[in-house]
């Protein structure tokens, strides 16, 4: 595999001829490969051959504007598949779909839409077609920051700001434009804050990421 990736050539099992290949490799994972390399569970030489151009794929909870479009797509697909004259969800049901954080991303949304279509008894599906996990879901509220004795308010706020910015940069693979959008500030403002707080963006790009990453060569 390393030879195929590096030299773009291979030999068939039992053969002796070297065969050149012209392919492009796209590898996807939801694992933290940089950490896996550090703990020895993933080969470092394979990691660097795959990680030529990394694309951070945002989680569904970061692009909720896509949810109505995905819902329409899956409703049309599964309604046809199951032979049901279903047009879509009620406003109430859609609010539940939009308020959920979708830890299973698009696959989870797809499964719940299929389930709703199976249960549907009317053209417009109500909240009763949704699973209990959506109806009872409560968005997680961040823990209040701990106040350390002897630490000034400015220092505490700076530590919180640094943590939030690092978290946004990690989630977006170090792409500052997307990190700024995630934080609700301008890219210029983010750049000044990164510089002021001494955050190593290049280190974050080559370090840990929390969301699925696709790497292509």
Please give the pLDDT value at position 89.
95
Torsion from C-alpha of 138, 102, 179, 200, nearest 10 degrees = 90
Task: Count the neighbouring beta carbons within 10 Å of the beta carbon of residue 151.
Answer: 11
148 has pLDDT over 60: yes
Residues of the chain with CATH 1.10.10.60: 153-209
Model pLDDT, residue 143? 55
Structure tokens at 99: 């308020």
Per-residue pLDDT of 17-31, as tens digits, reads: 999 989 888 888 878
Q: Is the pLDDT of residue 214 over 70?
A: no
3-state class (DSSP) for residue 112: helix
d(CA 77, CA 82): 9
User: What stretch(es) of the chain map to CATH 1.10.8.60?
Assistant: 61-135
**For the structural domain made of 153-209, what CATH number should be given?**
1.10.10.60
pLDDT digits over 180-199, tens only?
Answer: 888 888 888 888 889 888 88
Helix (H/G/I), strand (E/B), else coil: 92: helix
CA distance 120 to 100: 21
- Total residues found in the chain within this entry: 217
Which whole number is the average pLDDT over 115-132?
93
Distance CA 146, CA 138 (A): 23
pLDDT in tens, 70-110: 999 999 999 999 999 999 999 999 999 999 989 889 999 99
Q: ∠ CA(38), CA(44), CA(49), 5° rounding? A: 140
Question: Cα–Cα distance between 86 and 114 in angstroms, integer?
Answer: 12
State whether the Cα torsion 214-56-163-138 is positive or negative. Answer: negative
Instruction: Taking residues 126-150, report their average pLDDT.
Output: 75
CA distance 69 to 166: 30
Is domain 61-135 given the CATH code 3.40.720.10 in the classification? no
**pLDDT over 70 for what percent of the chain?**
89
């Amino acid at each position: 595999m390393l030879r195929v990736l590096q030299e773009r050539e291979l030999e068939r099992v039992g053969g002796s001829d070297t065969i050149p290949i012209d392919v492009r490799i796209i590898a996807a994972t939801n694992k933290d490969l940089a950490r896996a390399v550090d703990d020895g569970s993933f080969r470092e030489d394979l990691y660097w051959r795959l990680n030529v151009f990394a694309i951070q794929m945002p989680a569904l909870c970061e692009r909720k504007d896509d949810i109505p479009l995905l819902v329409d797509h899956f409703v049309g697909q599964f309604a046809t598949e199951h032979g049901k004259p279903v047009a879509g969800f009620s406003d109430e049901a859609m609010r539940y779909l939009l308020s959920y954080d979708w830890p299973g991303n698009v696959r989870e949304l797809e499964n719940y839409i299929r389930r709703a279509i199976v249960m549907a008894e009317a053209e417009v599906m109500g909240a009763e077609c949704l699973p209990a996990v959506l109806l009872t879901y409560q968005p997680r509220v961040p823990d209040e920051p701990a106040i350390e004795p002897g630490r000034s308010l400015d220092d505490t706020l700076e530590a919180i700001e640094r943590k939030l910015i690092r978290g946004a940069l990690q989630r977006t693979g170090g792409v500052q434009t997307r990190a700024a959008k995630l934080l609700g500030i301008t890219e210029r403002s983010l750049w000044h804050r990164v510089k002021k707080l001494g955050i190593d963006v290049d280190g974050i790009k080559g370090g840990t990421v929390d969301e699925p990453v696709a790497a292509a060569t």
